[in-house]
């Protein structure tokens, strides 16, 4: 296993890569633009023009990201996501249907992240492991697992709060406020969760570095007391 503490610049890059895999700031901005168009257009001109405007903006974003040579996968998946939301709204014949996929997706992600903590397989840890050359040694270091548990639980709170608030607004037929909630619960909450995730990754990497350094110290000093396995 590579030494996670040997290169602070590399460590920061890895933490940033984890956040990008979980959406990233640019992904939040891009995902908000179709919503910013959909809600006012639907209220002023109706459902069909709103769908056309949202899909048009999603198409422009797709082309823009590809031209900038950004990763194709999030660009394409973002466009498909807007298309599915627009299709649901069209089939239902209601503007609020545009938000249905996001609402229930939040519940699913909250459940998945919470379950991962319960079985001591925190999602954030596995995302970090995937970015870090599929390294799973972190599962043997209790402090690293605890750090990833905390970060994963913060994401549970983010997803759960989005579901509760937006589902309530959906049931109340508050399409305008749904748009506000979708955006306001996007950037601010994700920023907090991203900060906690970054700090958790740094803490986990320090724990891994200390764990890796222990055998070297013991080999240099055979009489060194063994740590309490408990």
DSSP letter assigned to residue 70: -
What tens digit of pLDDT does each residue of 27-38 get?
Answer: 667 778 899 999
User: How many other C-beta atoms are found inside a 10 Å radius of the C-beta of residue 15?
Assistant: 21
171 with 119: CB under 8 angstroms?
Answer: no
Question: Does the structure show a pLDDT above 50 at 88?
Answer: yes
167 with 103: CB under 8 angstroms?
Answer: yes
Least reliable range by pLDDT among 23-27, 59-63, 65-69: 23-27
Q: Which of the two residues, 66 and 132, has the higher pLDDT score?
A: 66
Q: Give the per-residue pLDDT at 215.
A: 56
Q: Which of the two residues, 61 and 29, has the higher pLDDT score?
A: 61
Which residue from 80, 65, 84, 66 is spatially nearest to 27, judged by alpha carbons? Answer: 65
Q: Give the per-residue pLDDT at 190.
A: 85
Q: Give the per-residue pLDDT at 149.
A: 95
User: How many other C-beta atoms are found inside a 10 Å radius of the C-beta of residue 97?
Assistant: 19
What tens digit of pLDDT does each residue of 6-33 get?
Answer: 444 444 455 555 555 555 566 667 778 8
- Residue 84, SS3? helix
Average pLDDT taken over every residue of the chain? 82
Burial level of 114, CB count in 10 A (0-12/13-18/19+)?
Answer: middle
Confidence category of residue 205, pLDDT binned at 50, 70, 90: confident
């Amino acid at each position: 296993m590579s030494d996670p503490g040997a290169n602070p610049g590399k460590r920061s890059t890895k933490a940033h890569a984890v956040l990008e895999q979980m959406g990233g700031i640019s992904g939040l901005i891009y995902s908000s633009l179709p919503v910013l168009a959909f809600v006012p257009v639907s209220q002023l001109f109706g459902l069909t023009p709103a769908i056309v405007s949202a899909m048009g903006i999603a198409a422009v974003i797709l082309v823009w990201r590809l031209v900038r040579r950004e990763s194709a996968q999030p660009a394409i998946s973002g466009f498909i996501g807007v298309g599915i939301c627009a299709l649901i709204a069209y089939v239902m014949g209601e503007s609020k249907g545009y938000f249905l996929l996001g609402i229930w997706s939040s519940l699913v992600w909250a459940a998945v992240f919470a379950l991962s903590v319960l079985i001591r397989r925190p999602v954030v840890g596995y995302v970090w492991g995937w970015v870090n050359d599929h390294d799973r040694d972190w599962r043997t270091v209790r402090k690293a697992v605890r750090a990833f548990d905390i970060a994963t639980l913060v994401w549970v709170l983010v997803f759960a709060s989005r579901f509760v608030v937006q589902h309530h607004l959906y049931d109340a037929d508050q399409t305008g406020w749904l748009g506000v909630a979708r955006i306001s619960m996007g950037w601010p909450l994700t920023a907090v969760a991203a900060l906690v995730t970054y700090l958790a990754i740094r803490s986990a990497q320090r724990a891994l570095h200390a764990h890796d350094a222990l055998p070297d110290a013991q080999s240099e000093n055979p009489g060194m007391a063994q740590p309490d396995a408990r």
